[in-house]
Amino acid sequence: MKSSKNPLFYALPPHFRPDMPVLKKKPVVSAKTATKTAAKSTTKSTAKPAAPAAATRAAKIDDKLIKLGLRSDMDKVLHLPLRYEDETEIKNISEAGFIFGRSVQVEGIVTACEVAFRPRRQLVVTISDDSGQLVMRFLNFYGSQVKQMAEGNRVRARGEVRHGFFGAEMVHPSYKMVIEGAPLPSALTPVYPAGEGLSQTLLRKTIIDAMARIAWRDTLSEQLRSSLELMQFEPAVRMLHNPPPDIDESALADRSHAAWVRMKFDELLAQQLSMKRAQIARREKGAAVLPTVGKLSKAFLKQLPFALTGAQQRVLEEIRADLQQSFPMQRLLQGDVGSGKTVVAAIAAAQAIDSGFQAVLMAPTEILADQHFRKIAGWMEPLGVNVAWLTGSLKKKEKLEAKARIESGEAQLIIGTHALIQEDVQFSKLGLVIVDEQHRFGVGQRLVLRNKGLDNNLASSKQKIPHQLMMSATPIPRTLAMTYYADLEVSVIDELPPGRTPIVTRVIDQNRRDEVIERVHAAALEGRQVYWVCPLIEESEALQLQTATDTHQTLVAALPDLQVGLVHGRMKPAEKQEVMDAFTRGDIHVLVATTVIEVGVDVPNASLMVIEHAERFGLSQLHQLRGRVGRGSAASVCLLLYQGPLGMVAKQRLRIMRESTDGFEIARKDLEIRGPGEFLGARQSGQAMLRFADLETDQWLVDKARDLAHTLLRDDPATVEAHLARWLGAREDYLKV
């Protein structure tokens, strides 16, 4: 099928079609300039000719498409529209004036065009047809548009009609210049997700060309499609790219149309197949058996100053059973803020050490890694465990010493940051990898750390990879965990340790800052410590937010009898640690901070949290920050300062925070607001993000896809390969960590 014969191709604006000539004015060149140019071309005639301009442009376009994730023809074909515009019908201007709340298309002759100041500079164009006239206003415009809108030219415009001071008008409508009798598109016009430098016109042509090249074979048999009541693949895709004007637009918009159902099912099936296949592949790999719950493990439990909760004991038994298997554990340990994940991870590390292996814990920030090191080393070192500390901020000599201890096997437990995945870090006998806040690491980073346990001198078939325990303080709703972590076992600590005090949350207008400062002063005089969290370090004209540095200066002036500290991400690690140590000792009464204190900081005496511009934070982040207080016996309070007016989503988030302290309930609400991609940190998580399916409304499809994935993996490997190649391609490799 040639692009030039495709009806969707002809639905493009005529002046954007590649088959229409683009006329450009030739620049006026003086005789003197022409002579110099000719001389230059003569002297350079022997030089290597430059690459053709067309090839250069094509390469740039390809780069932009790749950034959008469109590498193969099938990627382009599966780049489905966000929405549609109906350009198949033209309304009379007088009739369009009575259509409210939705876009409408009109056509008319330009009767006036002027650059006016009402009050700001704008382009005002009046068009008319036999029924009346309409004003088009452009607040941002180019000089070429003024020439384009010359009186007597014909314009086809689409937008929402409003009634302004000059009568019926459209503000910044989409438009094109047409000739009288220009044909209308025969289908709805798709609007695609686009990247920088990629116009809708270019995307439409790219997708049409790709559709002409791909093999349309359906990956699902007719019998399967019939049993699942699904459309065929090709008709479904073609309908979504080129829907007829009589299609049910509401079903198209809410993605309940049969064509959308087929796409969503295929996407879910690919995701389930990849996850389950990764799980099967993992079970076929070898891992060191860590069976010993020995002297260290028993001594560790005995010296703890508290008893494990029932949830911690249950989760610990699940992990211990995994470590005794000959295939690698891949378990996600999730629990609310303060539920006791760190102690469970430390007990798992003790089992690895008891079995004669090393264990490593990697955290995303130095503050969090330091908290782990201090806490776990405080438990382990008195029991004779050699604990190593490795981060990027260590001096060269200290790094070399730590690496030598790790490589020799002297260090039994290693705690650190990204520095652990540097090429020159080698382990002696790595048996267990623990990754905290795992969603903050890229897939490749987790894979590098896991592969540190491989012996490069052994054949790959004999390799044994370490067991892997991933921790997350962001509770993940069950539906999401079943879908996105289908290749993982999931353990949940759903019980808080006894003695944790409930946190009272209040939402306060920014105008009452003076009252909040008085509250902070009173708390400090009672011997309590305070966090004051700000979202930015430096002033941003765009956001107009109070900064950490400004807030610090304000509080220092307002509270002269208190010690006010400041910590943020741009400070040197040693400086940050010095401030955190002073706060932990109680030398600092009020700590002004950015979100570097979001996780890992544990100061039981801190009982008041103030979060500046809380409307700018996500629910998960607010919950994490709030979890820094309530760790002691004193009643704790979290004050959410907001700057009005608030948008709908911001109001919703603050209301949820005020009403609930349950991390799982907050996570469920967060999923509803943000969707799974943002919720999981999609760009870093490496999971197969869902572009089309919705886990809330499409759960019935998730169940069907899960069941079919199990059947296909058992009975039809050829279909599995074809389906995964279509939907994931090379990206499937990233799902195996």
Q: What is the pLDDT of residues 123-162, one digit of tens each?
A: 999 999 999 999 999 988 888 889 999 999 999 999 999 8
Q: Which residues of 669-705 are buried (b: 16+ CB within 10 A; e: fewer)?
A: bbbeebbbeebbbbebbbbbbbebbebeebeebbebb
Tokens encoding 386: 């050699």
**How many C-beta atoms lie closer than 10 Å to residue 273's C-beta?**
27
46 pLDDT more than 60: no
209: pLDDT confidence band, cut at 50, 70 and 90? very high
In a domain, residue 50? The reply is: no
Structural domains in the chain (count): 4
Do 130 and 230 lie in one domain? The reply is: no
Do 300 and 271 lie in one domain? The reply is: no
Average pLDDT of the chain, as a whole number: 82
Per-residue confidence (pLDDT) for residue 376, from 0 to 100: 93
6: pLDDT confidence band, cut at 50, 70 and 90? very low
- Residue pLDDT, tens place only, 428-444: 999 999 988 765 555 55
- Residue pLDDT, tens place only, 446-502: 566 666 655 543 334 445 789 999 888 776 666 566 566 666 788 889 887 776 777
Do 593 and 530 lie in one domain? The reply is: yes
Do 534 and 433 lie in one domain? The reply is: no
C-alpha triplet 399, 400, 403: angle, nearest 5°: 85
The rounded distance, in Å, linking the Cα atoms of 484 and 671 is: 13
- Residue pLDDT, tens place only, 581-593: 899 999 999 999 9
For 31-45, 320-334, 671-685, which range has the lowest pLDDT when averaged over its residues? Answer: 31-45
Do 358 and 437 lie in one domain? The reply is: yes
Total length of the chain: 737
Q: Model pTM? A: 0.65
Pairing of strands 606-611, 636-642: parallel
- Residue pLDDT, tens place only, 615-644: 988 888 898 889 888 887 788 999 999 998
- Residue pLDDT, tens place only, 248-259: 888 998 899 999
Q: What is the mean pLDDT of residues 388-411?
A: 92
51 pLDDT more than 60: no
64 pLDDT more than 70: yes
| Domain boundary residue, one of 465, 493, 521 | 493
Q: What is the mean pLDDT of residues 78-88?
A: 89
End-to-end CA separation in angstroms for the chain: 42
| Domain boundary residue, one of 634, 660, 686 | 660
Do 303 and 410 lie in one domain? The reply is: yes
- Residue pLDDT, tens place only, 523-576: 999 999 999 998 866 555 455 556 788 899 999 999 999 999 998 878 888 888
Q: Is the peptide bond before 52 cis (omega within 30 degrees of 0)?
A: no
- Residue pLDDT, tens place only, 15-38: 333 333 333 333 444 444 444 444
- Burial class from Cβ neighbours inside 10 Å (0-12, 13-18, 19+) for residue 379 reads buried
Tokens encoding 383: 């029991």
In a domain, residue 51? The reply is: no
Q: How is residue 212 annotated by DSSP?
A: H
In a domain, residue 68? The reply is: no
Give residues with Cβ within 8 angstroms of 525, minimum separation 6.
none
Percentage of the residues of the chain whose pLDDT score is greater than 90: 44
- Residue pLDDT, tens place only, 257-300: 999 999 999 999 998 888 888 778 777 888 889 988 899 999 99
Q: Which residues of 631-648 are buried (b: 16+ CB within 10 A; e: fewer)?
A: bbebebbbbbbbbeebee
For 369-383, 564-578, 680-694, 708-722, which range has the lowest pLDDT when averaged over its residues? Answer: 680-694
**How many C-beta atoms lie closer than 10 Å to residue 395's C-beta?**
8
In a domain, residue 79? The reply is: no
Specify which residues 532 forms β-bridges with: 592, 610
Do 540 and 614 lie in one domain? The reply is: yes
In a domain, residue 432? The reply is: yes
Pairing of strands 358-362, 387-390: unpaired
The rounded distance, in Å, linking the Cα atoms of 335 and 317 is: 16
138 and 172 in contact (C-beta within 8 Å)?
Answer: yes
Do 280 and 387 lie in one domain? The reply is: no
The residue among 519 and 185 whose pLDDT is bigger is 519
In a domain, residue 458? The reply is: yes
Do 234 and 97 lie in one domain? The reply is: no
For 309-313, 347-351, 605-609, 692-696, which range has the lowest pLDDT when averaged over its residues? Answer: 692-696
Per-residue confidence (pLDDT) for residue 385, from 0 to 100: 96
**How many C-beta atoms lie closer than 10 Å to residue 96's C-beta?**
23
Per-residue confidence (pLDDT) for residue 599, from 0 to 100: 55
710 and 280 in contact (C-beta within 8 Å)?
Answer: no
- Our measurement of the distance from residue 595's CA atom to the centroid of its chain's CA atoms, rounded to an integer in Å, reads 18
- Give residue 517's domain range: 503-660
Do 450 and 542 lie in one domain? The reply is: no
Q: Output the DSSP codes for 451-465.
A: HTTS-TTS-GGG-BP
Looking up residue 361, the CATH number of its domain turns out to be: 3.40.50.300
Q: What is the mean pLDDT of residues 310-318?
A: 95
In a domain, residue 195? The reply is: no
Tokens encoding 442: 């890229």
Looking up residue 148, the CATH number of its domain turns out to be: 2.40.50.140
Per-residue confidence (pLDDT) for residue 627, from 0 to 100: 86
In a domain, residue 97? The reply is: yes
Give residues with Cβ within 8 angstroms of 610, minimum separation 6.
516, 520, 530, 531, 532, 533, 638, 639, 641
Do 469 and 511 lie in one domain? The reply is: no
Percentage of the residues of the chain whose pLDDT score is greater than 70: 82
Do 325 and 456 lie in one domain? The reply is: yes
Give residues with Cβ within 8 angstroms of 427, minimum separation 6.
358, 360, 406, 407, 414, 452, 453
Give residues with Cβ within 8 angstroms of 257, minimum separation 6.
239, 247, 248, 251
| Domain boundary residue, one of 609, 627, 660 | 660
1 pLDDT more than 70: no
The rounded distance, in Å, linking the Cα atoms of 472 and 466 is: 19
